[in-house]
Amino acid sequence: MCFVHQVAVDAPGLQLLDYSAETPLAPGTLVRVPLGRQTVSGVVMACTAMDDSPRAIALRPIEAAFDTLPPLDAAWRELLQFVARYYQRAVGEVIGAALPAQLRNRKPADLATTTPQDLVYRCTEAGLEELGASLARRSVALWRLARALGVPGPEAADAPPDPADSAPLALSEARSLHPQARQVLAEWAQAGWVELVDTAPSAASMPAPDLHPEQAQALQAIAASDGFAPFLLFGVTGSGKTEVYLQAASQVLQRKPGAQVLVLTPEINLTPQLVRRFEQRFGAAHLAVLHSGLSEGQRLRHWLAAHTGRARIVLGTRLAVLASMPSLRLIVVDEEHDTSYKQQEGARYSARDLALWRGRQLGIAVVLGSATPSLESWRAAQTGRYTLLTLTQRASGVLPRVRLADTRRDPTLRASGALIGQTLDAALRQRLERGEQSLLFLNRRGYAPVLSCPDCGWMSDCPHCDAHLVFHRTDRTLRCHHCGFQAAVPRACPGCGSLDLQPVGKGTQRVEEALAEKYPQARIARIDADSTRRKGAAASRFDSVHAGEVDILVGTQMVTKGHDFQRVTLVAALNPDAGLFTHDPRGPERLFAQLMQAAGRAGRAVSDQDGSEASAPEMLVQTGHPEHPLYRALVAHDYPGFAQAELIERERGGMPPFTFQALLRAEHRSFDAVVEFLAAAQQLAVPLAQPLGVTLYPPIPAALARVADVHRMQMLLESQHRGALQRMLTSWRGALAAQRSRVRWAVDVDPLDF
């Protein structure tokens, strides 16, 4: 007698494989199995008894099982299979995205795990710094204990300790690392290196404010919900959405012992305040944080905290939606419209959509929050599929007034290279005089998007991409923002030898320079991907803005997200018109969301510290199209009006959310190979698509048709019915795989980028 185990192995491209074992392993057990000449990790998905038939005997045996780790539960395993099926990927690839690398590469013996427990030890800051030195190389077991608490190992002696390393450690867990763990930890506590923290969620360290009536109504609706209940919490920046999340989470935790809450946020580095607020409210020991910026060790510890139930709140970016949370009772998706919820590589899943799927699976509430919901969610709220909760007022401060400055009527902007119009100039001077801050943003880093020769029309194009090289003045380079190619600025035009090469258009560096020239007394800071490349650079620049050491902040969209700037009373967008007229059908939606979000950076403060009235907060948009309906809606703070107009357009154009789409993306260095592959793909698709009523569009080049010498093309599929599209894709994908083409291809379901 032996047992056949179906295992989802951690190897891209592979579905479930069979392995044998003499005793049955519970589904969800993490195992190590042989694959070719390697050993890889996998998750047991099913197990059946089998006689000693030749087939059973021929199976390779499971090498080891992580039996100290609680098995991944059925709900998680279903999620894994759903992601693979819906997004047309192999299960093996989804495992790779869902489990931390250290779990996938370790042997079971290396892994200390734990049962949920409310009393845990935590390393103090002093401990992080001193404990390691006190141990020197004394005992392996002591070191194991210290490392589990996050103390940097001897090899990291020179690196400063990172407080994010400090991980809660339960006593049971500690005992498995050191037999006398209790005594040792008591000694360390005496020395001030560790502290015992109570992780019971009632131990909130910060009191919650009383809710405003609209907030209270929203909270009440969420708390009263039963079973799967999707909510759209619609409220401008500062209207108190986060406070509603906090109190909804708190209610869930108090009502059900051991319950867990998942909070998704687009980019954790841009929302440090969100993490801090959850920490303050619930205590850091209850919080696991999951995002791609963690070290492998940190990611494993936080993942385990979620999986074992020790973490009551898991706060993370899109990958956190795949976390194992056995007692999940509430999901929050903050800024649900944000496109970074869509994974753009490998298994291209949408974390927002998966959050809703998990909510339905578990029969729990899902709160989607936004000031500018995605049109998908807005329509769902309009048709009653989601419950709409609205916060109309700012919780503190006032909404900025939005003004449009017409660039066509502004004589100062006629001069070539002029960037700051009259209206903006006056507004900036007023802020400078009053000692208030201004924030200017535009979506282009570098000095100018292209360098050009007025004599012969030469342009600085990337030799490897269908894109311009961006002129960076600080180091006099031309750089490709797509492939990283870099070249020195040529002294003369490569086309005609002219010495008069001109920067065309504007980037953040150029704006910074123009501001410095115009306002020599002002302290100016720039925040974009170039100025913040060093680790910690972004944080320290933001800190100096918060500290009032900056008068004018210039940046890309990095500055428009998340931060609560107390002293900013002016936000200006420098000609965002390009977003109105892109090939991208979602361009307007994105532009509107970005401008609203940027507007939200102004007017947090009511009055100055010395009591004098601050300027009325305002947002200024320099535009050549002030009559455009999008800007009109912006001035009126009218998201519903904007969304309704957009939805009418979408319905007319047969676009999502009125249809469902998928994209076959293909790329290769040989253009012909891509064309050939897609022609074959189209032929295969026709007989599959017709009976299901799926519309096929001919293959076309991607918006960026060549990157780093790789040609990229795509083919769009569309259907009124999600199910029909799914069936078509599943058979088509099989047929495509059988082609064994050298072209790299992938199916992108519900694509956001074209």
For residue 410, give Cα distances in angstroms to 420, 440, 449, 622, 626: 10, 19, 23, 10, 13
Residue type, 730: T
The beta strands (E) that lie in 547-624 are given as: 552-555, 568-574, 618-623
Question: CA 394, CA 603: separation in Å to the nearest integer?
Answer: 10
Q: How far is the CB of 263 from ligand ADP (least distance, A)?
A: 12
Among 41, 237, 350, 714, binds ligand ADP (CB under 6 A): 237
483 annotated as belonging to a binding site for a ligand = yes
Which residue, 242 or 531, is less far from ligand ADP as judged by CB? 242
Q: In terms of CB distance, is 96 or 369 closer to ligand ADP? A: 369
User: Can you read off the two tokens belonging to residue 188?
Assistant: 């360390």
Which residues between 488 and 517 bind Zn ion (CB under 5 A)?
493, 495-496, 498
456 annotated as ligand-binding = yes
Q: Which of residues 338-397 bind ligand ADP (CB under 6 A)?
A: 395-396
483 binds Zn ion (CB under 5 A): yes
DSSP 678-726: HHHHHHHHHHHHHHHT-EE---EEEEEEEETTEEEEEEEEEES-HHHHH
Give the one entry of Zn ion, ligand ADP, none that residue 215 binds, where binding means its C-beta sits below a cut-off of 5 to 8 angstroms depending on kind: ligand ADP
Q: Is it true that the peptide bond before 520 is cis, omega within 30 degrees of 0?
A: no
Find all residues with CB under 8 Å of 534, minimum gap 6, and list them.
none
Question: Which position among 31, 375, 465, 633 is part of the footprint of Zn ion (CB under 5 A)?
Answer: 465
Beta bridge partners of 368: 232, 333
What is the DSSP secondary-structure string of 423-437? HHHHHHHHHHHHT-E
Pick one of Zn ion, ligand ADP, none as the site partner of residue 396 (Cβ within 5 to 8 A by kind).
ligand ADP
- Specify the 3-state DSSP secondary structure of 229: strand
Tell me which of 106, 429, 464, 632 binds Zn ion, using CB under 5 A: 464
Query: Does 123 count as an annotated binding residue?
Result: no
Q: How many CB atoms lie within 10 A of CB 459?
A: 13
What is the smallest separation between the CB atom of 282 and ligand ADP, expressed in angstroms?
15
239 makes contact, choosing from Zn ion, ligand ADP, none, with CB < 5 to 8 Å by partner type, with ligand ADP
Q: How far is the CB of 283 from ligand ADP (least distance, A)?
A: 18
Burial call 206-216: b when 16+ CB within 10 Å, e when fewer? eeeeebbebbe
**For Zn ion, the closer CB: 163 or 495:** 495
Q: Is 693 in the site for ligand ADP (CB under 6 A)?
A: no
Choose from ligand ADP, Zn ion, none: what does 242 bind? Cβ within 5-8 Å by kind.
ligand ADP
Per the DSSP assignment, residues forming a β-bridge with 370 are: 234
C-alpha to C-alpha distance for 332 and 248, rounded to whole angstroms: 9
Smallest separation, CB 345 to Zn ion (Å): 18
Q: Which residues have a Cβ under 8 Å from the Cβ of 361 and sit 6 or more positions away?
A: 75, 78, 79
User: Is 446 within 8 Å of 472 (Cβ atoms)?
Assistant: yes
Nearest to ligand ADP of 71, 316 (CB atom): 316
Asked if 127 and 147 touch (Cβ cutoff 8 Å), the reply is: no
Residue 515's closest CA among 549, 570, 552?
Answer: 552
Give the interface segment with ligand ADP, choosing from 30-38, 234-242, 406-414, 532-540 (CB under 6 A): 234-242
Paired strand residues for 48: 4
Stretch that binds ligand ADP, among 22-30, 170-178, 235-243, 551-559 (CB under 6 A): 235-243
Partner whose footprint covers residue 237, from Zn ion, ligand ADP, none (CB < 5 to 8 Å by kind): ligand ADP
- Give 39 or 396: the residue with its C-beta nearer to ligand ADP: 396
- Region near Zn ion per CB under 5 A, out of 68-76, 143-151, 399-407, 480-488: 480-488
Residues 199-228 that bind ligand ADP (CB under 6 A): 209-212, 215
| 2 has binding-site annotation | no
Site size toward ligand ADP (CB under 6 A) is 15
Q: 493 among the known binding-site residues? A: yes
Residues at the interface with Zn ion (CB under 5 A)? 453, 455-456, 458, 462, 464-465, 480, 482-483, 485, 493, 495-496, 498
Binding-site positions read: 453, 456, 462, 465, 480, 483, 493, 496
Residues at the interface with ligand ADP (CB under 6 A)? 209-212, 215, 235, 237-243, 395-396
Binding-site positions for Zn(2+) read: 453, 456, 462, 465, 480, 483, 493, 496
